[in-house]
Chain A
């Protein structure tokens, strides 16, 4: 470790304060007996102590505002600053969810129009903005699948099929909903193995959770056949929308036969994530699933007249699975996503997908001679390389991920998906210029060279960061979560 930043508690000095309140100019009332505590071990620091401490900590972070962030499947695109400006408008920040809908018509209209835009982008009939993030959207969608079957008296469906190229949260969402998870292997082109899928398709299938493009960045080549197979036994098809960035304006999951799907506003629609802010995971669905959506959703309660705009209000779908989030979801995130959609428009969104795919393929081709890419064909928004070489034993994907930090880049996702050995999953997004992509590719090529000529520099990386390599095994085995424990 090159820098030792103390904990805020270690900066504490008895009696030091940030703010001194004036003496109250109204009579004081003591707290009811038993509510006041004698001991509250919070750090005692001044304002400047706090500002400097957290500013210093922020300098240890990587952020998409600092440099390239090719974290596969996370779609770490740039977050346009105008989104922030719009989300800070007093009309959006100075309202309260308990206000009567008549008094917050602007906010409701934004939610309504966002629902409509997401329906149009994905080709679905209905939308709920409730879920707080992607995995929450998945859980919501799987609950809707359960509700759909049970509502029809179809209670014998106990399993959900999940391809081995799906997002890691898919099996968890299914298991948490009480389903048995059955993994379907991939074939040698990175598609779902159709024979394996057929073997599992029977009347106990509640649904299939499909990430398309999958975590290899590949569009499922037999998609229509897969959907048809699952539907033919009465199962539903869930779409994991985490990789929607590759399809915007080009293909609509609703048209492809999906029944229900979640979107990640914080990936596809540019709102901050990864420590930068909360997510939002709206769920969209086909007409036969619409009654089960979580509520409330925003509807038009009175049509527009010549003099008046329409009125909006909240409504629960008829057989709704209920609320999945307090109030109305993450409203601020919705404002930012709507700003992004409105600014780009239909053609702009299509260009997002085209540039994201172009950038990923450009990097794939630049790296393919130095890194093995096991499913090496035209990819969508991301691709997966192997971080290992037969003639460089002892170098692993983790060493490459650590070394790339020395060049100022965030490492790619590593060790996922599990179907690629020593996986390095690279998603550049549409944000990046050719110069940035080239700088990253040059660094990766240099690292591949070093793996063969100077592997030690990889194994001891990173060298140019505030902290050297951390002991991940010790960190996982000997968790210290309280600063008092760190003292002992």
Chain B
């Protein structure tokens, strides 16, 4: 299980990079198992607030909403995921990215977990 050190993490298992790229974590994709459907519900130019739904994902065993880790403007959407949702299973922190945000208030990042904290949070839930 990977927890890249340069990312910030949410309790709902999203990650965000310092430049505003957002996706779901390795732990999330592992828990969901094989993804069969990804729908990104925001478009380029949309303003989102921290906690807004930005996408829905579905696997053979479950469905989940994906929330904006911080507020900001959507500057890019990974359209390729619609045709190949399993990209997220293969590469959650790379090609499996979902949206890019122009972060409105960088101080919101401070409310998120760092890699160490998130790793502990995942382990706690595995108990």
**B36 partner residues in chain A, CB cutoff 8 A:** 473, 476-477
In the bound complex, CA of A476 to CA of B125 (Å)? 29
Q: Chain A nearest CB: distance from B86 CB in Å?
A: 8
**A418 partner residues in chain B, CB cutoff 8 A:** 62
The reply to whether the CB of A415 lies closer than 8 angstroms to some CB of chain B is yes
Q: A-facing mask of B31-60, CB < 8 A → 1, else 0?
A: 101101100000000000000000000101
The reply to whether the CB of A149 lies closer than 8 angstroms to some CB of chain B is no
**A398 partner residues in chain B, CB cutoff 8 A:** 61
The reply to whether the CB of A307 lies closer than 8 angstroms to some CB of chain B is no
Q: Chain B nearest CB: distance from A310 CB in Å?
A: 50
In the bound complex, CA of A415 to CA of B34 (Å)? 13
Max chain B C-beta neighbours (<10 A), residue from A396, A421, A477: A477
Interface contact A472-B62, CB-CB below 8 Å: no
Quick one: which of B58, B62, B85, B126 contacts A415, CB cutoff 8 A?
Answer: B62
Interface contact A473-B60, CB-CB below 8 Å: yes
Interface contact A421-B62, CB-CB below 8 Å: no
Q: Chain B nearest CB: distance from A12 CB in Å?
A: 33
Max chain B C-beta neighbours (<10 A), residue from A396, A414, A418, A476: A476
Interface contact B37-A414, CB-CB below 8 Å: no
Q: Chain A nearest CB: distance from B45 CB in Å?
A: 25
**B125 partner residues in chain A, CB cutoff 8 A:** 421
Q: B-facing mask of A331-366, CB < 8 A → 1, else 0?
A: 000000000000000000000000000000000000
**B61 partner residues in chain A, CB cutoff 8 A:** 398, 414-415
A residues contacting the other copy or chain, number (CB 8 A): 10
**A477 partner residues in chain B, CB cutoff 8 A:** 36-37, 85
Quick one: which of B31, B37, B126 contacts A476, CB cutoff 8 A?
Answer: B37
Q: Chain B nearest CB: distance from A415 CB in Å?
A: 4
**B86 partner residues in chain A, CB cutoff 8 A:** 473
**A472 partner residues in chain B, CB cutoff 8 A:** 34, 60
In the bound complex, CA of A473 to CA of B58 (Å)? 11
In the bound complex, CA of A418 to CA of B125 (Å)? 12
**B33 partner residues in chain A, CB cutoff 8 A:** 396
Q: Chain B nearest CB: distance from A135 CB in Å?
A: 16
Q: B-facing mask of A411-422, CB < 8 A → 1, else 0?
A: 000110010010
Q: Chain B nearest CB: distance from A481 CB in Å?
A: 16
In the bound complex, CA of A415 to CA of B125 (Å)? 16
Q: Chain B nearest CB: distance from A418 CB in Å?
A: 6
Q: Chain A nearest CB: distance from B38 CB in Å?
A: 11
Interface contact A476-B62, CB-CB below 8 Å: no
**A414 partner residues in chain B, CB cutoff 8 A:** 61
Interface residues of A in 455-479 (CB under 8 A from B): 472-473, 476-477
Q: A-facing mask of B52-91, CB < 8 A → 1, else 0?
A: 0000001011100000000000000000000001100000
**B37 partner residues in chain A, CB cutoff 8 A:** 476-477
Interface residues of A in 412-462 (CB under 8 A from B): 414-415, 418, 421
In the bound complex, CA of A421 to CA of B33 (Å)? 12
Interface residues of B in 110-127 (CB under 8 A from A): 125-126
In the bound complex, CA of A421 to CA of B86 (Å)? 21
Name 12 interchain pairs, CB-CB below 8 A, sorted by A.
A415-B61, A421-B31, A421-B125, A421-B126, A473-B34, A473-B36, A473-B60, A476-B36, A476-B58, A477-B36, A477-B37, A477-B85
User: Hey, which bits of chain A sit against chain B, CB under 8 A?
Assistant: 396, 398, 414-415, 418, 421, 472-473, 476-477
User: Hey, which bits of chain B sit against chain A, CB under 8 A?
Assistant: 31, 33-34, 36-37, 58, 60-62, 85-86, 125-126
Instruction: For the complex of A and B, list the 7 residue pairs with the smallest distance between their C-beta atoms, beginning with the closest.
Output: A476-B36, A415-B61, A472-B60, A473-B34, A477-B36, A473-B36, A473-B60
Give 17 new A-B contacts, CB below 8 A, not counting A396-B33, A472-B34, A473-B60.
Answer: A398-B61, A414-B61, A415-B62, A418-B62, A421-B31, A421-B125, A472-B60, A473-B34, A473-B36, A473-B86, A476-B36, A476-B37, A476-B58, A476-B60, A477-B36, A477-B37, A477-B85
